[in-house]
Amino acid sequence: MSRVLTTFSFFFWNCANGIKSKFDYVKYLANHYQPSVFFILEAEVKTTDLTVLQIQGYDLIVSETIQGVFKKARTVCYVKTDLPYKILKLDCNTHDIIGLDIGNHRFIGLYRGFKLPNNDSPNSYLQKMIGIITKLCHTNKKIFVGGDFNIDLFRRTSQLDLIEDWALNVGLDQFVNDIYKR
């Protein structure tokens, strides 16, 4: 028997410079708002941090870069423990992307930092990231993509053109037009 999602909320938050120093606030947000899915970007989580960052009632998922090129996960995700989900296997330890299927929804959380692996340029790294998330967008599920591409939306650049073209080509609509400021 599959479970039907009745009330569902999801957050994307860039905590800037690591989750450990902001963990009390992360726990507060999770406990107070109780999102179903809570992506945290620029988390900078090492393998040794995993038990310290547990939140009761949530499963902690980390991007594959924790075992890969960066030796830390810069994207993490908390999912309510009682929520049936599937982690999408990316086989890519050079990009901080987490993909989840929950019911008829697909969530993609990502972070494109300024530290790039190998000899990638900012454009080539972004193009590879777009290739990965484009594959994840080929589904009949309702897709939600959130994260931090580290692109200036107010200055015309080739990277902004890449993102805008990609969003148009896969048929995504931007529904968050402003950032929440506390």
Each residue of 82-131: pLDDT tens digit? 999 999 998 888 999 999 999 999 999 999 988 888 788 888 999 999 99
Give the tens place of pLDDT for each residue, 135-155.
Answer: 999 999 999 999 998 888 788
Lowest-confidence region among 12-16, 79-83, 153-157: 153-157
Question: Is pLDDT at 166 greater than 80 in this prediction?
Answer: yes
Residue 152 lies in a domain: yes
Q: How far apart are CA 99 and CA 87, in angstroms?
A: 6
The predicted pLDDT at position 170 comes to 85
Q: What is the CATH number of the domain that holds 117?
A: 3.60.10.10
How many domains is the chain partitioned into structurally?
Answer: 1
Question: Is pLDDT at 179 greater than 70 in this prediction?
Answer: no
The predicted pLDDT at position 5 comes to 47
Provide the domain limits for residue 51. 10-170
Residue 3 lies in a domain: no
Question: Is pLDDT at 176 greater than 70 in this prediction?
Answer: no
Amino acid identity for residue 142 in this structure:
K
List, as own/partner pairs, every contact residues 62-68 make where C-beta atoms lie below 8 angstroms and the sequence separation is at least 24, other chains included. 62/98, 63/95, 63/96, 63/97, 63/98, 63/111, 64/90, 64/91, 64/92, 64/93, 65/93, 65/94, 65/95, 65/96, 67/93, 68/92, 68/93, 68/94
Residue 66 lies in a domain: yes
The predicted pLDDT at position 180 comes to 54
Residue 122 lies in a domain: yes
**pLDDT: which is higher, 21 or 178:** 21
- pLDDT confidence bin for 60, thresholds 50/70/90: very high
Residue 72 lies in a domain: yes
Residue 130 lies in a domain: yes
Residue 177 lies in a domain: no
The predicted pLDDT at position 153 comes to 77
Residue 181 lies in a domain: no
